[in-house]
Structure 1
């Protein structure tokens, strides 16, 4: 009997299901978990966002620095061919005769900053005696043509669009270049017209350019000759229009995203030296281009400017960019602030012109 009861008890214990405790979290436990997770994730998320924003700023800054340096290197190479650079006084004297940004690009405002004359070398471009003029237009070394050169007036402008929303450029400012080339003349032609030699086909002068030979016929020093432009241009050597042809001679953008902050808001830019000019004792205050006194109100005058020594044909060029404008909404663009000055990168370069002035004319 005892053995039977023991067997029955063992069988029942084996077949009885185990008792499980009900699992899960209470509502309070869930709320506590959510709060603790938020306290951990929120700072981490903010840190990640801040790191990503900083990375974007640094990439934009690096891009701006590279572009500014490339622009300065280009300007320096251009200036290397210069034989005369206008300082503040000289630029103010001829500014009204220079190409107009407002005419070329209606709705845009622009100021000429760096303007100079240079001599450009043209290999195999002048026909020798008995050679075909048409062959010289190909600049082929085997075309029996001599080397020649032309004089050009080059201008670098700071340009700002009034309606920048629909523009392909930013709402900051940009630096553009325009070049007005004089014609190439055949110094070997035996039948010159008056005291000038005739024009070589294919190398016509830019409309509206005052030929440098005419400027040099005036009395005075080279600086005086090149800063007094005659208003009545009547020269039979080349037919020139009194106005510029902006279809053929265009403003070409060199670099965009130049700081548009008005110059009066920033007082940390290097100033031009007031040292007296050669053979003078009084300080010379007209080296900066453009002259701040001639620039329109609200237009930036120190994001792109230069200190020019006309007598030494030397220019030190300064550029300040706006890297934040690359990653922020297009309009309005960010303005300079002292606590973000690193994102308004600056650079400068000094260049000296080594071009020669040797006007072609017949005997």
Structure 2
């Protein structure tokens, strides 16, 4: 009896193993192909969505960075302009006719006198130089900052000529992606006077300045391009020293690059007429016995060498009121792609900022 039961159990176990072996088999080629196609159909849209999300995030990031950079540049220019005592308008810079008087313009007197580098905003300001004029004649200016001499020297002010340029050079090493012409840049030059001696003697050899050996060359001596014969009553004459520009191989001083990725699309966005006259309050000028409105061409300084101008960095200047309005337009897409010309449909990627400032100083004050 036990042997019979053992035989039945063994037979049943063998049958179960045989059935399980027959039912457990791999995927066929058709099933594998169908699974692959289904996975492709599901994953491809998901991958495209992820890539699009990453690209969108990248574009938004560069747009935000460009907006921040432009606002920082505008704030810097506003702070600089607030100290202006004389701001040059378009006729002063590029020449023309003011009333019936022909004006040559100062463009050729400015560094670096290069057609690809266009002066947009040019003004004079007073700059403070701390602890530079000795009240004790035993102390030399370059000793004023010594701890023992701090109380023996006074602060003073010197004149500085500041020029903001739109650079349209051919360099393509600073922008990415490279390979084609880079966008424009904004650069700043400053040519500064030196500390003048309040009580000059006939024996002094460096009038009207202190002797070179007694001064700090970086803060107390005039820049090589500064012209000590400049006179505010003739603001377009003796602006700089050409010899000084030649001596300094960088053109007076190496420019300070203020902002990159300025839009250089031509044509740019449509410009509304009287962009300067209206914001500046339709200024007028006394010409002879009559008062006449100042024309837009006198007020607006832009990259006039372009046809049409890109208007990506321009200034509106009312010299009589020492008032200036500055506008900057960036190009955030150029940080990601070479084909990034202005298009009204994607104008959000070409952020613009403006600031209007009246200089606190004035000639003779």
TM-score range, shorter chain: 0.7 to 0.9
* SS state at 2:265 partner: coil
1:208 aligns with 2:225: yes
1:87 aligns with 2:89: yes
1:173 aligns with 2:181: no
Identify if the C-alpha distance between structure 1 residues 22 and 156 changes in structure 2 by more than 3 Å, giving closer, same or farther. Answer: same
User: C-alpha displacement at 1:304, in angstroms?
Assistant: 0.9
Equivalent residue, structure 2, for 1:123: 130
**Which residue of the other structure, out of 331, 343, 351, is the alignment partner of 2:357?**
351
Equivalent residue, structure 2, for 1:186: 197
In angstroms, what is the RMSD of aligned CA positions? 3.2
* SS state at 2:106 partner: helix
- Which is further off, 32-41 or 58-67? 32-41
User: C-alpha displacement at 1:249, in angstroms?
Assistant: 1.4
User: C-alpha displacement at 1:129, in angstroms?
Assistant: 5.3
Identify if the C-alpha distance between structure 1 residues 242 and 15 changes in structure 2 by more than 3 Å, giving closer, same or farther. Answer: closer
Residues 289-300 of structure 1 mapped to structure 2, 5 A cutoff: 289-290=301-302, 295-297=304-306
Gaps of 5+ in 1: 103-107, 217-221, 234-238
Aligned length in residues: 328
1:245 aligns with 2:248: yes
Residues 1-363 of structure 1 mapped to structure 2, 5 A cutoff: 7=5, 10-18=8-16, 19-20=19-20, 21-92=23-94, 93-100=105-112, 102=114, 109-128=116-135, 130-135=137-142, 138=145, 142-162=150-170, 164-165=171-172, 167-169=173-175, 171-189=182-200, 191=202, 197-199=208-210, 201=212, 202=215, 203-211=220-228, 214-216=230-232, 222=233, 225-229=234-238, 241=244, 243=246, 245-247=248-250, 249-262=253-266, 264-268=267-271, 271-273=275-277, 275-279=282-286, 280-285=291-296, 286-290=298-302, 295-297=304-306, 301-328=310-337, 332=338, 334-358=340-364
TM-score by length of 1: 0.79
- Kept in 2, the 8 Å contact 1:128–1:188? The answer is no
Identify if the C-alpha distance between structure 1 residues 64 and 244 changes in structure 2 by more than 3 Å, giving closer, same or farther. Answer: farther
TM-score by length of 2: 0.79
Identify if the C-alpha distance between structure 1 residues 243 and 215 changes in structure 2 by more than 3 Å, giving closer, same or farther. Answer: farther
User: C-alpha displacement at 1:301, in angstroms?
Assistant: 3.8
